[in-house]
């Protein structure tokens, strides 16, 4: 069905621009020192596990891949080749609400096994945030949960890409090293 008026033709662009405005506002209010602390913790861990459910899980998978590209030993929970966690390991758990059952369970389990936990959430008072050893808040003031979740995941992805960029620089990951770890069975 053809679009018949200008409002229809501009709807997707306008929605995209609204998302960008929300993400920019969040990024201006992020506590970058918390992300710097995460950046410091990652190379110190024996192994890094990343988890999240739904779209937060997709952000986690992207981050796990980036950590591997940087030369760190990283795994995504739930994969068949993910090893057992122990003391000295680090779990990065991502959940907008901080109440996702699967993610909360893995945080509790990781702590029982002696691993440290970093939670990334929008909710400072959530069970996830209060259980973790370190919490990174992605600050939101959006009531609509669908919009809030979308902005959370985009902002979290950008924040974690910034963490990756700093780690790569610190570890002096050059293009050849990066390329050697990039998937080639594509």
Active site residues: 153
Backbone angles phi, psi at 49, to 5 degrees: -115, 140
Backbone angles phi, psi at 94, to 5 degrees: -115, 125
**Cα–Cα dist 117/50, whole Å:** 10
Q: What is the DSSP letter of 135?
A: E
Most distant CA atoms of the chain, gap in Å: 61
CB 28 within 8 A of CB 158: no
């Amino acid at each position: 069905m053809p679009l018949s008026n200008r409002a229809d033709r501009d709807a997707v662009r306008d929605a995209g621009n609204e998302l960008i405005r929300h993400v920019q506002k969040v990024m201006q209010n992020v506590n970058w020192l918390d992300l710097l602390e995460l950046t410091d913790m990652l190379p110190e861990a024996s192994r890094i596990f990343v988890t999240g459910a739904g779209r937060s899980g997709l952000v986690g998978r992207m981050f796990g891949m980036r950590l591997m590209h940087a030369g760190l030993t990283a795994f995504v929970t739930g994969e068949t080749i993910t090893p057992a966690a122990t003391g000295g390991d680090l779990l990065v758990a991502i959940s907008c609400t901080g109440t996702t059952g699967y993610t909360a369970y893995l945080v509790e389990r990781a702590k029982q096994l002696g691993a440290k936990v970093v939670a990334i959430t929008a909710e400072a008072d959530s069970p996830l945030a209060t259980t973790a050893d370190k919490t990174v808040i992605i600050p939101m003031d959006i009531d609509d949960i669908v919009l809030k979740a979308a902005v959370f995941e985009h902002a979290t992805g950008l924040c974690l890409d910034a963490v990756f960029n700093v780690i790569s620089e610190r570890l002096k990951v050059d293009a050849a090293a990066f390329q050697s770890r990039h998937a080639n069975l594509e």
